[in-house]
Amino acid sequence: MDMLAIQSAVGDSEVKLGPNTPDINPKDATKLPSSFIPKVQNESAQISYRFKSSGSGLFHCTLTGLVFDLTREAELLYKIIQWDESILHQAGKMAAGPLFDIKCCEDAVRQLHFPHCETQKALLSDGLLSVVHFTDDTMSFIKPLKITDTHVVIKTPHFSAFGPVVDLDSAEPVKGQILLFLRPPNCKKETQNLNVLLLPRNIPLDQVSRQHQGSHFILVPSACNLIKNQTYTVHCPVACKIQPKRAELDMGFGPNYPPTFVICFPMNTEEITLTLRDQTDAEVWEHEVDLTDHLPFSADGRISAQEIMVMLLDILKDLSDDVFSDFKWHLKIKEWNDMPPIKESDLFEAKRTTTVDLMVQKYQITGAVQLQRSSFMEPGEVPWDTGEGAEEAVHGFMPESSTS
């Protein structure tokens, strides 16, 4: 694509800040999205997703965060492709999320909801966030129907590539995530390396983890606010070496996710303290990291996202009605991982199955597990019987690498 005609914005709906959960069509105001786990396929080292709906409704992809508003039964094929940053910059824009190539029958989709990483403060800037739409030789900017805390919602034109964008000169903080991958030890040098990735929060963990399959994922609270083009330093008292000394937030949105920092420390280290500081030396994020509590990225014994959701449901089924009611009360009042609580109206009559869907829609698979653990568990304590092997599974997991 050499030269693109930049067309005017599509649609004339007013952009409004909405609720914390993905927005819904006014005709379905009482309906919550149904979470689904797509079939994942590897095509020439590129990941693609497939989902076939059973009918109309709102459908939330647990791996990518996309929400599809469907009018009928349909099959969706979608994947993340690489942005051409130079073309965006010519239009005074920069990427604000992954670029999705989506294929579906055009009359089957009313709206698309794209996850964004903008903070509440940034969303108050009128016209900051929009969605770009690429066709064969043109690109157009679609004015959102609505913007929520988590998603930007558009009416669907004909299908091609879509992605959220913001003004190029935007310097507002974004919702970020810090991901940790522990590499196998170097027995000769008796050292071990930890890869630290600073990324926008709307980059799917599923995409990142596939590039670090020789490592162990360390599940820690990852949320923090980060600023584009600002440099950061990471500190670890027991580290032998940290490289580089300073680095910027990576706003490239893939397809490659190299480590932002690499921390080298003695091989038998079991716990470290990690601190992220900005260029003014202010603390942005800190966490005690248990290096023994991890999940190996291998095909053997990996637990699928579907199995994790079933485990979360089984745990809630084991709770008495009173304890389950208390758990929902915590969900509606507790701000977790720098994200607002689930709305009380959604939880009021929610059954156990709906509660699992709400947690996954709001916090994704990893966040739902962390939230459920933190609500009931003290370190080393399990207040209910999860069954043989279940506790171990819920403490460490990742979506399976491929589904045929």
* Domains identified in the chain and CATH numbers: 5-167 (2.60.220), 173-296 (2.60.40.2660), 305-395 (1.10.533.10)
183 has pLDDT over 60:
yes
Nearest to 360 by CA among 65, 69, 116, 147: 65
The 8 Å CB, 24+ separation contacts for 266-269 are: 266/190, 266/191, 266/192, 266/238, 266/240, 267/185, 267/186, 267/187, 267/190, 267/191, 267/192, 269/192, 269/238
User: What average pLDDT is seen over the chain?
Assistant: 79
The whole-number average pLDDT for the span 122-134 is 84
138 has pLDDT over 80:
yes
pLDDT bucket at 17, cuts 50 / 70 / 90: very low
Q: What is the pLDDT of residue 304?
A: 58
Q: What is the pLDDT of residue 305?
A: 64
In this prediction the pTM is: 0.71
155 has pLDDT over 70:
yes
pLDDT tens digits along 249-306: 878 787 789 999 999 999 989 999 999 999 999 999 999 998 887 654 333 334 556 6
13 has pLDDT over 50:
no
Q: What is the pLDDT of residue 7?
A: 34
How is residue 218 annotated by DSSP?
E
Reduce the DSSP state of residue 238 to 3 states and report it.
Answer: coil
What span, in angstroms and rounded, lies between the C-alpha atoms of 204 and 97?
10
The whole-number average pLDDT for the span 183-201 is 92
The whole-number average pLDDT for the span 368-377 is 69
Q: What is the pLDDT of residue 21?
A: 38
Q: What is the pLDDT of residue 168?
A: 85
